[in-house]
Amino acid sequence: MVLQKEPAGAVIWGYGIPGAIVTVNLHREEEVIMTKVTSVRAPSHIWMVILDPMKPGGPYELVAYQTLGIMRFTLKIHDILFGDVWLCSGQSNMEMTVLQIFNATEELSNTEDYQSVRLLSISLVQSEKELEDLDEVDLEWSKPTSGNLGHGNFTYMSALCWLFGRYLYETLQYPVGLVSSSWGGSTIEAWSSPRSLRNCEDYLKKPIPESVSGPSKHSVLWNAMIHPLRSMSLKGVIWYQGEANMDYNRDKYNCTFPALIADWRQSFHDGSQGQTEHLFPFGFVQLSSYLGPEKSDDRFPQIRWHQTADFGYVPNPIMPNTFMAVAMDLGDRDSPFGSIHPRDKQTVAYRLHLGARAVAYGEKELIFQGPLPDKLGITVRGGQLNITYSQKIQVHVKKLENTTFEMACCTDHHCKWLPALMKAFSSHTLTLDVLSCTATVAALRYAWSTWPCEYKQCPIYDYRNDLPAPPFISFISD
């Protein structure tokens, strides 16, 4: 297993007989380098100690002795490493295993150099009440092997979680622990605590649509698959979810997602006795593309926008210390698991790890997201709209379709979205032709469709890191 390294202290807890004394020793080879003593609390039957902060490395052995009168019980855990622990959660795109992704055979065999990355996969369990302990695990703390990385389809181990951890390990060069807790088809409400959901108004009576295939009852996955982990000392969380909310409380996702982040942060901070940072880093994947039944369907674009609390980017004032991987250019028409399950998880993981390096590990000069519009301005004469980007852009002119940029052409409070064709561009600016709007141009949007481009062929990317510009919608002031 991997326990969280300094500056946090790793939290160790277990169950015993109320009143019993528990002594926890941390061994390095034959030497006891740390001892902690506590007692089992009543009525919870739980004991807990916090280890002193440890530098990354290992292996260590942990021995816990429980003593009550003449009774003495001993538990040993071998091969413990200290490093950074990341929790990975969401629905089926997080649940997909290495067996299901591109280059699966090669990826499954590429484990020898990553034996300091350790894996834990939580079983699929629902509960009506908050559980104190996990009912079951699919994969106990393990080293990566082809068997536990590709156990089957949508089982364990999460490919995105593994690849994210692998990229991190290549950068950090110290142990990484990965905890996967995901369920395909699940809604965000299932992963949210009642406290979290109360922040987003009363919509509890909405019927569940047929399109939701996984757990949707409020809090059942929070109760069984997240709450039992809250005492862990964590470095951060990555999240891939949102497809199941396409037809269920889509309009609330700009509240439910930030509320879930804030609530998980508070819960893990409190549960770990303050060892997990109160604003720990939280990364997520902005939804990819899929072949929907209607070309004009804007349910996915709405979820993508709401994933950023309607800012279009993160971090932002409502979602501090977060990072996002844009994935709308990774559509997979031929995925045997349906286009909603694209197989390129390597690129998603790479983009996520860039965000982690910048936000969680403080690499200040690292470009970790695609170009964002800095300002919009309309030049009335000549019918042009100018967009200035915050970073240098590369424009794939041939990939600019008529609907890539759209303007809201409004008259008498009635608006219609019309194409805004690109007229010119430079290293930081785009000029759009808006002459086709004979009324008022009130807003502009980019890549606002379920399938905005083919694989890695969106029109605008960062010049250096090939990161796609995220979709946006912006109202234009007079």
Query: How many angstroms separate the CA atoms of 81 and 90, rounded?
Result: 26
Residue 141's contacts (CB-CB under 8 Å, 6 or more residues apart) are 1, 2, 118, 119, 120, 177
Mean pLDDT of 274-282: 98
User: Backbone phi, then psi, for 36, in 5-degree steps?
Assistant: -130, 140
Of 137, 130, 154, 157, whose CA–CA distance to 145 is shortest? 157
Beta strands in 340-425 (DSSP E): 373-379, 384-389, 393-395, 405-411, 414-419, 421-425
* Greatest CA separation for the chain: 92
Per residue in 330-350, pLDDT tens?
999 999 999 999 999 999 999
Token pair in block for residue 285: 């994947």
Tally Cβ neighbours within 10 Å of residue 322.
Answer: 26
**pLDDT above 90 for 375:** no
Query: How many angstroms separate the CA atoms of 5 and 304, rounded?
Result: 34
With a threshold of 0.85, does the pTM exceed it?
yes
Token pair in block for residue 232: 């862990």
When pLDDT is cut at 50, 70 and 90, the band that residue 383 belongs to is: confident
**pLDDT above 60 for 400:** yes
Bridge partners, residue 32, by sequence: 27
Hunting for tokens 């009635």 — which residue is that? 414
What is the predicted pLDDT for the residue at 472? 94
Query: How many angstroms separate the CA atoms of 397 and 197, rounded?
Result: 44
Query: How many angstroms separate the CA atoms of 412 and 404, rounded?
Result: 26
Of 355, 122, 93, whose CA–CA distance to 241 is shortest? 93
- The residue count for the chain: 478
Mean pLDDT of 286-307: 88
**pLDDT above 70 for 380:** no
Mean pLDDT of 391-406: 81
259 to 219, 266, 288: CA distances (angstroms): 13, 11, 22
Give buried/exposed letters for 237-273 (b at 16+ CB in 10 A, else e).
bbbbbbbbbbebbeebbbbbbbbbbbbbbbbbbebbe
